[in-house]
Amino acid sequence: MSKFVIEGGTRLKGKVNIGGFKNAAVAIIPATLLCPGKCIIENVPKIQDVKVFLEILRELGAEAGYINDTSLYVDATNVKNCFLENGLSKKMRASYYLLGAGLGRFNSASSLMPGGCDIGDRPIDQHIKGFEALGAKVEITPNGRIHVRAEKLTGAKVYLDVVSVGATINIMLAAVYAEGKTIIENAAKEPHIVDTANFLNSMGADIKGAGTDVIRINGVKNLKGCTYKVIPDQIEAGTYMIAAAATKGDIIIDDIIPKHMEPITAKLKEMGMGIEEYGDSMRVYYEDELVPVNVQTLPYPGFPTDLQQPMTVLLSSLKGESTVVEGVSEDRFKYVDELKKMGACIEFTKKQAKIKGRNNLRGTVVQATDLRAGAALIIAGLIANGLTEVRNIEHIDRGYEHIENKFMNLGAKIKRVRDE
């Protein structure tokens, strides 16, 4: 077990390179199961969730591994079924994509219910609704194992009652070979939905409309292996943007798609940060005292729920009051108790936080309660007086590549220490 020890008070300066999008990679990697052929996936972040997925694919009979630091290969030709017997699916949320991919390729799949961050109730009823609409039967056993199977998959119209990233992608995966046309209405529009659809199309699928709220999938007979490059990580980039604002820094964020950053760019500009956009990079710089703003998380193109926690830390460091409303996740303010230990003045319910800035944060020992909360606590440590110890950092390693090295390169005083 390791922890991060952070000495606060440094303004971030310099350049940070952003890796491939975790949430796209963890959809594209299981999507390779759909194809009896070899895929090469480039710009993949070297994070724990990706390593676990490679282990899962090998367990299912695929050949899979890293080619170099950022590329990997998967050859799922010899995979015979998608029944994951072990508990690896409990290690992350995205393991639910095994169900859609297995259903698509083999008309059946099974695994234990997915794990992932504890941010409230995270049902998969919309995934199930989609699978059933295509003709599958779904059974969840009392010990939490989910089985999906179909005699035959036939295209259908599915209206999502909740805008769900996972359900939208899972239905796309299940429908690529389904006979006829599948239409997903009220689909999620996140950049990784588009990226996954582009990957599937590169393998030979026929998917149109990804990135809008209606996605049309014409079933195809065959898919073939391909080489595909994952888009940059919108959430990793947003984390460094917010860290630059919190530390009154001046940084260049490289290898990004500035368009994907708009919900964050807009809020930071409203607060008074300077932002200059270039082709695939941006400069984020502090000019003058920032003003607090109200934030509501929403599905894309709204402000991402995955950046709610870092944003709350930033707001708690400003003079004045602000409100953060959580419009996506069920219960994503648990980490506030950790921030309070550092002196933050925040009242919260499951859905809303009222922040009274500016209480200078002071370093202490805090626990990362989940992945993005962990990133938020690092930012809190960067602006706190004294030393902050962030524990349970295995949550952070699930989704951020070399986070301490990237912050160190920006001048932060942060080190990974093995916990005794």
Active site residue 117: yes
Using rule CB under 6 A, residue 123 touches ligand UD1: yes
Residue selected from 93, 189, 260, 267 as contacting ligand UD1 according to rule CB under 6 A: 93
| Site stretch for ligand UD1 (CB under 6 A), options 60-68, 124-132, 171-179, 351-359 | 124-132
Cα 333 from Cα 347, distance rounded (Å):
10
Residues 6-25 contacting ligand UD1, CB under 6 A: 23
Cα 163 from Cα 137, distance rounded (Å):
23
Using rule CB under 6 A, residue 305 touches ligand UD1: yes
Q: Which residue has the tokens 């080489």?
A: 227
| Site stretch for ligand UD1 (CB under 6 A), options 4-12, 98-106, 323-331, 358-366 | 323-331
Residue selected from 94, 133, 210, 313 as contacting ligand UD1 according to rule CB under 6 A: 94
Residue selected from 127, 189, 248, 406 as contacting ligand UD1 according to rule CB under 6 A: 127
Residue 326-345 contact track with ligand UD1, rule CB under 6 A, x = bound: --xxx---------------
Taking the least distance from each CB to ligand UD1, the nearer of 32 and 281 is 32
Taking the least distance from each CB to ligand UD1, the nearer of 8 and 45 is 45
Residues 26-55 contacting ligand UD1, CB under 6 A: 26
Using rule CB under 6 A, residue 171 touches ligand UD1: no
369-397 burial: b if 16+ Cβ within 10 Å, else e: bbbbbbbbbbbbbbbbeeebbbbbbebbb
Using rule CB under 6 A, residue 248 touches ligand UD1: no
| Site stretch for ligand UD1 (CB under 6 A), options 123-131, 132-140, 359-367, 387-395 | 123-131
User: Would strands 387-391 and 365-367 be described as parallel, antiparallel, or unpaired?
Assistant: parallel
Nearest CA among 97, 232, 247 for reference residue 172: 97
Q: Which DSSP symbol is given to 231?
A: P
Taking the least distance from each CB to ligand UD1, the nearer of 56 and 290 is 56
Q: Which residue has the tokens 């959430």?
A: 235
| Site stretch for ligand UD1 (CB under 6 A), options 52-60, 163-171, 273-281, 315-323 | 163-171
At 58, the amino acid letter reads R
Taking the least distance from each CB to ligand UD1, the nearer of 94 and 410 is 94
Taking the least distance from each CB to ligand UD1, the nearer of 77 and 212 is 212
Residue selected from 18, 47, 156, 165 as contacting ligand UD1 according to rule CB under 6 A: 165
Phi, psi (deg, nearest 5) at residue 130: -65, -45
* Residue-by-residue DSSP string for 164-200: -HHHHHHHHHHHTTSBSEEEEES----HHHHHHHHHH
Q: List, edge to edge, every strand of the sheet that includes 352-356.
A: 295-296, 321-325, 352-356, 346-348
Residue selected from 8, 30, 166, 363 as contacting ligand UD1 according to rule CB under 6 A: 166
For the CB of residue 126, give the shortest distance to ligand UD1 in the complex, in Å: 3
Using rule CB under 6 A, residue 126 touches ligand UD1: yes
Cα 57 from Cα 64, distance rounded (Å):
7
Residue 178-207 contact track with ligand UD1, rule CB under 6 A, x = bound: ----------x-------------------
Phi, psi (deg, nearest 5) at residue 277: -100, 140
Q: Which DSSP symbol is given to 263?
A: H
Q: Which residues pair with 282 in a beta bridge?
A: 253, 277
Give the Cβ contact number of residue 349 at 10 Å. Answer: 10
Active-site option among 39, 82, 117, 226: 117
∠ at Cα 395 (118, 76), nearest 5°? 95
* Residue-by-residue DSSP string for 5-31: EEE--PPPEEEEE--B-HHHHHHHHHH
Using rule CB under 6 A, residue 167 touches ligand UD1: yes
Taking the least distance from each CB to ligand UD1, the nearer of 339 and 371 is 371
Minimal CB distance to ligand UD1: which residue?
Answer: 166
Residue selected from 54, 88, 124, 264 as contacting ligand UD1 according to rule CB under 6 A: 124
Cα 222 from Cα 220, distance rounded (Å):
6
Name the residues annotated as catalytic: 117
Residues of this chain that interact with ligand UD1 (CB under 6 A) are 23, 26, 93-94, 122-127, 162, 164-167, 188, 305-306, 328-330
